Amino acid sequence: MRPIEYASPRTKEQAVRLLASTWGETAVLAGGTDLLSLLKDDVIAPRRLVNIKEIEELRGIAFDPRKGLRLGALVTIEELLDDPRVRQHYSALAEAAEGIRSPQIRNMGTVGGDLCQRPRCWYFRAGFGLLARDAQGRSLVLHGDNRYHAILGNEGPAYFVSPSSLAPPLIAYEARLRLFGPGGTREMPVQAFFRIPQSEEEREHDLRPNEIVTEILIPPPRGEASATYEVRQREALDWPLATASVALQMDGDRVTAARIVMGHVAPIPWLSPEAAQTLVNKTITEDVAQAAGEAAVRRARSLGRNGYKIQLARVAVKRAILRAVQGGAR
């Protein structure tokens, strides 16, 4: 790691003034679980770290049955998991948090950091940039080892997968995100925060270099049936291979509306209106869930070595739907 300055502002106003207006100059330090690795691997080399953990208003979980859930950006994954209101009303979110299997990561990592963490693509981590191209501009992913890369939204030039565990359930619940920068507060659906970069100058987030995530707002529970299902290689600490989060609005046994979001399959959390549409006015059965899984991956395509992920994503969607209506059955 290169030598670096460190500052601990007390307010978000101070924090954003300590951040530079161009990428690469400064970095935001919260849980640090991803940032320190990026610094050690020299993927980024900022001259200043702005520690935001002293900013009190970025903390805390608040729940009101009429207003919904408010998560401060600094809420740790463990705090989220330990909150009985989250488990009761937002089970897809609690199940996604459970998928972060390391207690150490859960104690340090924050919900804001989960959304802002950088992709795990090994070419990116080895310093070849987000789009991972060689000197001739060829994609290292297409010509190299792409076994963990995207199966959806992979028309290029980006092929990495979004690493966030919490974004799929947050998007399924139609959560919103608040950002703060020198110009004040911006608010957007969590879904709009993620974007597929088209050039090496762009990022996978709609976050400006001098902005910080301040809070996540989830609408009040509407009695939806919801769940997250992960397909993973290892039980212990690792990123899943494919995940699905679903939130189903029900009228008795009948689905009236659905949100289905896949994780780790595309450069952004992948909302599938096609899959959701197959569920409307249906009663969930194994066949109905299977059909939704098929619809979710209809446009998926293998890059060569990751074709197996299409089946995993199909199964994740099917099982998340079945789990949602079976009330959190494991």
Partner 1 sequence: MRDRRPSDERAASLSRREFLKISGLSLSLPVVTDFRVMRVAGAEVKIFGPGKVPVTLNINGKAYTAHLEPRVTLLEALREEFHLTGAKRVCDRGTCGACTVLMDGKPVYSCSVLAIDAQGRSITTVEGLMKDGRLHPIQQAFIDNDAQQCGFCTPGFVVACKAFLDKNPHPTPEDVRKGLGGNFCRCGTYMGIRAAVLQAAHMQKGGASHD
Q: Interface residues with partner 1 (CB under 8 A)?
A: 1-11, 13-14, 17-18, 29, 32-33, 36-37, 39-41, 47-49, 51, 53, 78, 101-105, 107-108, 235-237
Tokens of 28: 């935001």
Output the smallest distance, CB 71 to partner 1, in A: 19
Q: Which is nearer to partner 1, 41 or 251 (CB)?
A: 41
CA dist 259 and 276 (Å) reads 6
Q: Do the beta carbons of residue 255 and residue 279 sit within 8 Å?
A: yes
Q: Which is nearer to partner 1, 37 or 290 (CB)?
A: 37
Which residue is associated with the tokens 């993620």? 194
CA dist 173 and 272 (Å) reads 14
Q: At a CB cut-off of 8 Å and minimum separation 6, what does 44 contact?
A: 24, 27, 38
Output the smallest distance, CB 19 to partner 1, in A: 10
Output the smallest distance, CB 240 to partner 1, in A: 13
CA dist 240 and 168 (Å) reads 13
CA dist 87 and 189 (Å) reads 22
Select from 260, 241, 235 the least CA-distant residue to 249: 260
Q: Which helix (H) or strand (E) holds 61?
A: strand 61-64
Q: What DSSP designation does 51 have?
A: E
Q: What DSSP designation does 286 have?
A: H
Tokens of 250: 């029900």
Q: At a CB cut-off of 8 Å and minimum separation 6, what does 115 contact?
A: 164, 166, 167, 170, 177, 190, 193, 205, 213, 216
Q: Which is nearer to partner 1, 40 or 301 (CB)?
A: 40
Q: Which is nearer to partner 1, 212 or 260 (CB)?
A: 212
Output the smallest distance, CB 112 to partner 1, in A: 16
Output the smallest distance, CB 105 to partner 1, in A: 7
Q: Do the beta carbons of residue 234 and residue 214 sit within 8 Å?
A: no
The four Cα atoms 103, 104, 108, 111 give a dihedral, to 10 degrees, of -40
Output the smallest distance, CB 183 to partner 1, in A: 14
Output the smallest distance, CB 10 to partner 1, in A: 7
Q: Which is nearer to partner 1, 62 or 237 (CB)?
A: 237
Output the smallest distance, CB 113 to partner 1, in A: 11
Q: Which is nearer to partner 1, 11 or 311 (CB)?
A: 11
Q: Which is nearer to partner 1, 78 or 202 (CB)?
A: 78
Q: Which is nearer to partner 1, 108 or 291 (CB)?
A: 108
